[in-house]
Structure 1
Amino acid sequence: MNRNETTWFGIRLTQKQATNLFVLSIVGVFITFFVVIQMFIPLIYMFTSPYGGIGYLWQSLFMLAPYYIAFLVGLILSIYSLIRSRKIARSYSGLMSTNSFKSKITMFCPNCGNQRSEEEKFCKQCGQEVK
């Protein structure tokens, strides 16, 4: 998978951003799951209590339907972000190699003005020690 082709809703993420999104997605999944469970508890209590009936169940479902839909969308987005950010973070290589090269600055002997390399300690023409 090419790093430039992997996006999260059209946004290119760095490895650090993808890792942070992964952690936030895990937290989002747990929070959303917990809230949805808390919303179902009154419906479970309805079956254990002697009061109420099937009408109470439908009334509760219709009253809480927007919340169920919102939390379901949040859960789906969290799971999608969890999977996608993991793929984005994996698309980055562990270590990126850097190219090192010698300096191309021209150095001259302070005594005679002859061109010299940076590694030379003495001038080739006059023998002067170069610092």
Structure 2
Amino acid sequence: MFDSYLTRWNLAPDGAPIVTPAAHLLPVLKDGMPAMLKLSHEADERLGGVLMEWWGGDGAARVLARFGDALLMERATGSASLSDMARSGQDDEACVILCAVAAQLHARRSKPLPELTPLSGPSGYGNVPR
């Protein structure tokens, strides 16, 4: 499943595959740096890769390559965890980090936003109250 992308992007596996309902992921090394290879099964997941590429690493993992259903992105490393912070009494600090990232993701960009699946209407996700 991953072999053609490992060859295409000269990647080395660096952990066990992760399976979700929407994608298969594989921790990899790209030129010695940790990365994540994601193969999406659903259109919304593929659009998520387009959005991540549009963000350009500002508030989200940087996209290193994208082809078809495959996305190669930076891999989070380190031991810091927002959920651990919140559970250990550092919830104020975790909220500050979350708000800063949300501000980065919603900042004005020079390129127009790519077309995404609407959060309301007949997308199969139901209607989101306004």
**TM-score band, normalised by shorter chain:** under 0.3
Larger radius of gyration: 1
Q: Which structure carries more helix by proportion?
A: 1
Q: Which structure carries more strand by proportion?
A: 2
Q: Which of structures 1 and 2 has the larger relative contact order (alpha carbons within 8 angstroms, sep 6+)?
A: 1
**TM-score normalised by structure 1 residue count:** 0.24
